[in-house]
Amino acid sequence: MRHDTDPRLLRAFVAVAEELHFTRAAARLFTAQQALSRDIRRMEREWGVTLFARSTRHVALTAEGERLLPVVRRVLTALDELAGAVGGVVARPLVVDVAAPAATGRGVLDEARAAAPDLEFVARFHSGLTGAAAEMVAGRVDVSFGRFAGLAAGVRAVLEHRLIRWERVAVLLPETHPLAGTAELPLSALAGERLYAGVGNPETAEWTDYARALVAGRGIELVEPFPKIEGDTEFVRVVRRQGWSVLASEVFTAVPGMVLRPLTDPVPYSPVSMVWRRGLRHPGLTALLGVAPPVAPTPPAGGWLPEPDREVLTRRVPAGPGTRRAGGDG
């Protein structure tokens, strides 16, 4: 095996491994599909391994490809860091919107900081992916987390994403609520209930859209538009004062005097993707991706999900250990 593999080939391998589709990987790398196929064959020849099992309709990582993928990602991270260090140039801070202190994004950011202590990450706390996406498009935020399918198609077209977690959807109830003593709440039990889901807040439009799909035809109402609530302290004050029940996920800020109860019959899931600007290259992004492997594009068995999410998530799913999808154009 040669030890001087061109970094371009390494990036080609990662792109195909994450896309499991040669045409999409070629578009991502701004190269021709035929050239990309030649690069992968060259890499396999130089390394003496088969990285992909491919046909005209399907592309999948081989066991050897899965074994080598995390190693190649680490090499590319090191190369990015080296490029930033040459000549004393340090990579600019990566701006990461984590939505809230108690959120999946915050956990991923903490892990990336531990894995890459020499890099600088600056956290932001937008309350929704729709608002953060506008900041990403404008170049003021680099990475965020949330329900990718809830973004407008035109916005999704200029962003990349990786599905990293399925979160169970829950309801936050006052501890004096008649349903507060139930460990899990059937959706039917919420008939006649009014739930707060950010109606009227344009920054959380993707969550309100999810809520509307979930409660449709179930006799559950959403709280009418209310001014945007800034910060956890103000959120707790307003929710307790209004006496609202809140549609939330299993990862949610603790609210004194309220209890979080997961929903069931059916079990609704919220898809959490890591989202970034298309074409972004930064060692911090590589570090984030390294600590947040992709998950399967369908929720756990029997889980409820809005149909638009199923369409978007199965149309394009980044690869990772344990993840498979039909590809093609190999």
| Same-domain check for residues 9 and 29 | yes
On whether the CB atoms of residues 297 and 314 are closer than 8 A, the answer is: yes
Q: Enumerate residue ranges in the chain where pLDDT < 70.
A: 1-3, 81, 83-91, 316-330
pTM value is 0.69
- Angle at Cα 323 formed by Cα 320 and Cα 328, nearest 5°? 95
What's residue 87's pLDDT? 53
CATH number of the domain encompassing residue 158:
3.40.190.10
Q: What per-residue confidence (pLDDT) applies to 140?
A: 86
225 shares a domain with 287: no
Looking at the structure, do residues 304 and 183 belong to the same domain, yes or no? no
Q: Is residue 67 domain-shared with residue 3, that is, in the same domain?
A: yes
pLDDT value of position 324? 36
pLDDT value at position 85?
A: 63
Q: Do 197 and 263 belong together in one domain?
A: yes
Residues 73 and 189 in one domain: no
Q: In angstroms, what CA-CA distances link 205 with 246, 275, 308? A: 15, 16, 15
| DSSP for 250-261, written as a single string | SS----TTEEEE
**Hey, how many other C-beta atoms are within 10 angstroms of the C-beta on 289?**
23
CA distances from 43 to 26, 39, 74, 231 (A): 16, 6, 17, 50
The answer to whether 268 touches 177, Cβ cutoff 8 Å, is: no
d(CA 150, CA 208): 9
| pLDDT tens digits along 215-270 | 999 999 999 988 887 777 888 888 888 888 999 998 877 778 889 999 999 999 99
Question: Which pLDDT does position 212 carry in this prediction?
Answer: 96
Q: d(Cα 127, Cα 117) in Å, to the nearest integer?
A: 27
| Same-domain check for residues 79 and 141 | no
With a CB cutoff of 8 Å and minimum separation 6, the contacts of 78 are none
Phi, psi angles (nearest 5°) of residue 284: -65, -40
Q: Which two tokens stand for residue 221?
A: 């109402």
Domain total of the chain: 3
Do 161 and 276 sit in the same domain of this protein? Answer: yes
**Whether 179 and 249 share a structural domain:** yes
The residue assigned the tokens 């608002």 is: 131
Do 32 and 159 reside in the same domain of the chain?
Answer: no
Mark which of 217, 252, 268 sits at the end of a domain.
268
Same domain, 135 and 219: no
Together in a domain, 142 and 200: no
Task: List, in sequence order, the alpha helices (H) in the chain.
Answer: 7-19, 22-29, 33-47, 63-85, 104-115, 129-137, 153-156, 205-215, 232-242, 283-291, 307-315
Range of the domain at 113: 91-166+271-297
DSSP state of 202: G
The rounded radius of gyration (Å) of the Cα atoms in the chain is 22
CA-wise closest residue to 160 among 138, 140, 133: 133
Among candidate residues 119, 159, 121, 152, the one with its CA nearest the CA of residue 138: 159
Whole-number pLDDT of residue 284: 92
Instruction: Give me the CATH number covering residue 13.
Output: 1.10.10.10
The pLDDT assigned to 326 comes to 37
Q: Helices marked H in 150-218 — which ranges?
A: 153-156, 205-215
Q: DSSP secondary structure string, 219-280?
A: T-EEPPP-PPPPSHHHHHHHHHHHT-EEEEESS----TTEEEEEEESSEEEEEEEEEEETT-
Three-state secondary-structure class, residue 136: helix
